[in-house]
Amino acid sequence: MKQTLRVNLGSRSYDIIIAPELLQNSKPFLDPIIAGRRVAVISDKIVSNKYLNLLSPTLDSITDSWDLFRIEGGEDAKSFGSLEKLLDSMLAHGIDRQCVVIAFGGGVVGDVAGFAAGLIMRGIDLVQIPTTLMSQVDSSVGGKNGINTRQGKNLVGSFLQPRIVLNDVSLLSSLPSDELKSGYGEIVKYGLLRGEDEFTWLEKNFSTIMSCNNSALVEVIRMGCETKAGIVSEDELDRGKRALVNLGHTFAHAFEAHAGFGKFQHGLSVELGLIAACDLSERIGLCEKGISLRVRDHANDVEMPVKLSDLSNETHWKKDALYKRMLHDKKTINGKINFVLLREIGNPCVCNEVTQQAVYETLIQLGAV
Ligand SMILES: NC(=O)c1ccc[n+]([C@@H]2O[C@H](COP(=O)([O-])OP(=O)(O)OC[C@H]3O[C@@H](n4cnc5c(N)ncnc54)[C@H](O)[C@@H]3O)[C@@H](O)[C@H]2O)c1
Ligand SMILES: [Zn+2]
């Protein structure tokens, strides 16, 4: 059932391994990178309490020295304060340029640990062991890391490609339902980016993924990682084509920023953002009618948000406020919002010629006033 994918980035190329029970069998993958070196495992309380016992025998067998550094769970950990505390603690423990950082947790741990690894001694080796569906299918691939500032999400960060990504799908069965759905939001994105066959497969097989069937998880994580790896290989530093992995995200980020980051899971917002992106694509005549209905029906089947009040019913969803958020998006250039839209399933494009009126109509369709 094991799958291996190569991310081709010249001297920074690396493998992504996807399999059940990978932690217990990680020695052949970790040994060539870690043997004899000091290791800093960065994790949070939930993940280290649940799963460190599966990783520690391997670490014990390949290095004399490894330490656990725990950060807080949740979006608040992506702050200057918690990064400073982490760096301080790592330096106090004598972490030097020969050490290897293992990011062991969800996307939050991956982003903070990746940033810390890139900053300590101007960059030390990083291994990603993601433990959420979101991080296995998306955030651990591509080398982006970072923290939030009071001005917005992920505004400070860097690129540091990992030496390897180990995706153990067995870990996903303990995820709370909304965390699983959040990762699924990104999977729907990859289905829409890939093509009709992949999206139809999801429409038929989503229940096997949501019930954490190992072979379905391996298959779908491979599909997501392969899509992202292909795009990242062509545009590592996000100067052009990498924008396509932001399908649905211009809307999603506006929903999250407007409601307050952390109010609901990122991937739930992405799912609604995908419905919005498809609706907008139809509205401006870029694609035939019907795709947004299909994506909405699918979200309904998976019991994911189909309107703004499903994300949060205590937020006042005002279209002009949401539009303003989009104007302040990282990807907006010279006042022109860059939307990733679809010509058809599997055929995305970046479009910055959308009228405010069309965006308003899409937002109203989702329940904004
Ligand atoms: N760098 C990138 O390219 C990129 C891409 C997408 C998202 N992200 C970032 O990822 C973050 C979201 O990551 P996330 O969705 O993984 O959330 P998360 O890291 O906050 O994890 C969600 C919760 O699940 C818990 N958890 C983790 N693994 C578990 C397991 N196996 N069983 C039970 N509980 C577990 C965590 O402790 C946490 O409480 C956001 O900050 C987002 O900005 C980064
Ligand atoms: Zn995302």
Helices (H), the chain: 27-34, 45-62, 80-92, 107-119, 133-134, 177-194, 196-210, 214-234, 249-259, 266-283, 291-302, 308-311, 319-327, 356-365
Contacts of 86 (CB under 8 A, 6+ apart): 42, 69, 71, 112, 116
Task: Give pLDDT, residue 153.
Answer: 83
The alpha carbon of 153 and the centre of ligand 1 are apart by a number of angstroms equal to 14
At 31-60, the pLDDT tens digits run: 999 998 999 999 999 999 999 999 999 999
The alpha carbon of 367 and the centre of ligand 1 are apart by a number of angstroms equal to 28
- Please give the structure tokens belonging to residue 148: 């939030």
114 lines ligand 1 (CB under 6 A): no
Contacts of 44 (CB under 8 A, 6+ apart): 70, 71, 72, 73, 77, 105, 106, 108, 109
156 lines ligand 1 (CB under 6 A): no
Determine the residue of 83, 132, 170, 217 to mutate for testing ligand 1's pocket, defined as the one with the most ligand atoms within 8 A of the Cβ atom: 132
Give one DSSP letter per residue of 250-306, joined into a string.
HHHHHHHHHH-TTSS-HHHHHHHHHHHHHHHHHHTTSS-TTHHHHHHHHHHHHT---
At 97-142, the pLDDT tens digits run: 999 999 999 999 999 999 999 999 999 999 999 999 999 999 999 9
3-state secondary structure of 143: coil
Q: How far apart are CA 221 and CA 226, in angstroms?
A: 8
What ligand 1 atom has the least distance to the C-alpha of 154? 43
At 192-212, the pLDDT tens digits run: 999 999 999 999 999 999 999
Q: Which of 113, 89, 160, 103 is nearest to 136 (CA)?
A: 103
Question: For residue 304, what are the CA distances in angstroms to 175, 184, 188, 215?
Answer: 16, 9, 11, 23
CB atoms inside a 10 Å sphere around CB 115? 24
Q: Residue 351: is its pLDDT beyond 90?
A: yes
The alpha carbon of 189 and the centre of ligand 2 are apart by a number of angstroms equal to 9
**Regarding the domain delimited by 3-175, which CATH topology (the fold level of the hierarchy) does it fall under?**
Rossmann fold (3.40.50)
Q: What is the mean pLDDT of residues 145-157?
A: 89
Tell me the ligand closest to 250's alpha carbon. 2
**320-323: long-range contacts at Cβ-Cβ below 8 A with a sequence spacing of 24 or more?**
321/258, 322/254, 322/255, 322/258, 322/363, 322/368, 323/254, 323/356, 323/359, 323/360, 323/363
Element (H, E) at 127: strand 125-130
Task: Give pLDDT, residue 235.
Answer: 86
* Residues 160, 125 contacting (CB under 8 angstroms): no
Q: Which residues pair with 163 in a beta bridge?
A: none
Determine the residue of 45, 139, 144 to mutate for testing ligand 1's pocket, defined as the one with the most ligand atoms within 8 A of the Cβ atom: 139
Task: Give pLDDT, residue 192.
Answer: 97
Of 84-88, 108-112, 257-261, 315-319, the least confident: 257-261
Q: Which residue has the tokens 């702050």?
A: 79
Task: Name the residue ranges covered by the structural domains of the chain.
Answer: 3-175, 195-365
185 lines ligand 1 (CB under 6 A): no
Mean pLDDT score of the chain = 95
The alpha carbon of 46 and the centre of ligand 2 are apart by a number of angstroms equal to 22
Q: How far apart are CA 268 and CA 252, in angstroms?
A: 8
* Residues 95, 66 contacting (CB under 8 angstroms): no
The alpha carbon of 255 and the centre of ligand 2 are apart by a number of angstroms equal to 13
* Residues 231, 252 contacting (CB under 8 angstroms): no
Q: Residue 331: is its pLDDT beyond 90?
A: no
Confidence of residue 279 (pLDDT cuts 50, 70, 90): very high
**Regarding the domain delimited by 195-365, which CATH topology (the fold level of the hierarchy) does it fall under?**
Dehydroquinate synthase-like, alpha domain (1.20.1090)
Q: Residue 330: is its pLDDT beyond 80?
A: no
